[in-house]
A = this chain, B = another copy of it.
């Protein structure tokens, strides 16, 4: 059960490839994870995710919105207020992402070891 024979081809129609097109970058999974905690405002998310610039945050949010994973609601008040909320599909997609995050939390020691090792070897 460790081999699946010569037949399996992971082409661009393979579901995993397609879901990776949606979320496989530096920030998207984190933003998704952050939004899973509930409706969030723009600045709030930036505060929660140190290192994430406005530019990248808006870019990620626009992508998620375009793909129907996030709903964006603008309130016409001053100062401006915008709320971001996961859609039903967004919440579904969050589940496997959350599994990955949980796995990470459960394997911090291994992550430590990886990063220690990284320092002693040349990058790529």
Task: Spell out A's residues near B (CB within 8 Å).
Answer: 2-4, 6, 8-12, 14-20, 22, 24-26, 29-30, 33-34, 37-38, 44, 47-51, 59, 62-63, 66-68, 89, 92-93, 95-97, 99-105, 107-108, 110-111, 113-115, 117-118, 121-124
Give Cα distance in the complex from A124 to B61, angstroms.
Answer: 9
- Known contacts A29-B16, A100-B19, A104-B15; is-contact A10 B49 (Cβ 8 Å): yes
Give Cα distance in the complex from A33 to B17, angstroms.
Answer: 11
Give Cα distance in the complex from A20 to B26, angstroms.
Answer: 7
CB atoms of A111 and B18 under 8 A apart: yes
Give Cα distance in the complex from A115 to B6, angstroms.
Answer: 29
**Within the complex, what minimum Cβ distance (angstroms) separates A30 from chain B?**
6
Report the nearest B residue to A123, measured CB to CB: B66
Report the nearest B residue to A114, measured CB to CB: B67
CB atoms of B26 and A101 under 8 A apart: no
Which among B26, B33, B108, B118 is the interface contact of A67 at CB below 8 angstroms?
B118
Q: Which residues of B contact A101 (CB under 8 A)?
A: 15-16, 19
